[in-house]
Amino acid sequence: MLSVREVVTSYGNVKALRGISLDAAENEITCLLGPNGAGKTTTMFTIAGILTPQSGTVMLDGKDVTRLPANKVVSKGIALVPENRLVFPRLNVEENLYAGAYSRRASAAEITADIKDIYRRFPPLEERRDQLAGTLSGGEQQMLAIGRGLMTRPKILLMDEPSIGLAPLVVAEIFNTIRELNEDGVTIFLVEQNARMALSVADKFYLIENGEITFSGSPGELEEDEVIHRAYLGTQKE
Ligand SMILES: Nc1ncnc2c1ncn2[C@@H]1O[C@H](COP(=O)(O)OP(=O)(O)OP(=O)(O)O)[C@@H](O)[C@H]1O
Ligand SMILES: [Mg+2]
């Protein structure tokens, strides 16, 4: 469904992605793992149209989306749940969900129905529909960030480190949600610092180190310890 080919993205003189290629298949969970500064967020931003690559292509369903602006990329079906669960803190829960639907040409009735679906999936959000998003707990904000992404009706949901800074129990809940979304047919491309959890849900994973993809395979093809070591440290185990 998503196909990234030979993408080079730089910040000024710093080459953050040095020609990366990867694929995310429909209905699968694909994970991108790698140490801090490896280029994970840059990959997400490039796919989402927030950054434009110097060269290379990003294709969705066989269509080139490489040079589209971020709002157009969203309407093509790529939604990003950004790092640090950026919700609009001074809007309430329901307003945040409505904001997620801004790119759609949908009737008010369709949008209301979709918000109902989000509440069904995340009951704590319904209880807090009038609460300012900035006052939600970290786990609730993550639910809201995911819900807002789903409001775009994406073909593929990109999630950048959804578990970061959350307590272990909440992390487990977020991963349950990821699994359930996938069972309901949502294609997911996930960046995670929690390599063990990521591998437990992944159909396929990639390792990125210093702006290059250094490994791809299914969990089990590389020993878990080795993956985790490289995901954190970016070096092969001695
Ligand atoms: N706005 C920016 N300006 C200049 N350099 C940047 C910018 N954003 C990122 N970089 C650099 O690009 C490289 C990749 O950063 P990126 O944020 O993609 O890494 P990451 O894998 O997401 O790391 P983390 O695990 O810490 O989130 C790093 O060397 C970083 O310093
Ligand atoms: Mg990052």
Rounded distance from Cα 80 to ligand 2 centre (Å):
13
Ligand 1 site residues, Cβ closer than 6 angstroms: 11, 14, 16, 34, 36-42
Residue nearest to atom 11 of ligand 1 (CA): 16
Rounded distance from Cα 178 to ligand 2 centre (Å):
19
Atom of ligand 1 nearest to the CA of 211: 14
Instruction: Return the pLDDT at 223.
Output: 77
Instruction: Return the pLDDT at 232.
Output: 74
Query: CA dihedral defined by 57, 1, 86, 42, rounded to 10 degrees?
Result: -30
Instruction: Return the pLDDT at 238.
Output: 54
Residue 237, pLDDT above cutoff 70: no
Strands 55-60 and 2-11: what pairing? Answer: antiparallel
CA–CA gap between residue 69 and residue 82 (Å, rounded): 17
Residue nearest to atom 2 of ligand 1 (CA): 11
Average pLDDT over residues 44-60: 97
CA–CA gap between residue 136 and residue 21 (Å, rounded): 37
pTM: 0.93
In DSSP notation, 150-180 reads: HTT--SEEEEE-TTTT--HHHHHHHHHHHHH
Instruction: Return the pLDDT at 220.
Output: 82
Looking at per-residue pLDDT, the higher value among 165 and 78 belongs to 78
Structural domains for the chain: 2-233 (3.40.50.300)
Report whether 225 contacts 31 (CB < 8 A): no
CA–CA gap between residue 54 and residue 193 (Å, rounded): 27
Nearest ligand to the C-alpha of residue 34? 1
Residue nearest to atom 25 of ligand 1 (CA): 36
CA–CA gap between residue 176 and residue 29 (Å, rounded): 13
Instruction: Return the pLDDT at 229.
Output: 75
Residue nearest to atom 1 of ligand 1 (CA): 11
pLDDT in tens, 33-44: 999 999 999 999
Q: Rg of the Cα trace of the chain?
A: 17
pLDDT in tens, 190-200: 999 888 889 99
Report whether 44 contacts 7 (CB < 8 A): no
Give the tokens for residue 25: 């298949």
Binned at pLDDT 50, 70 and 90, residue 140 comes out as very high
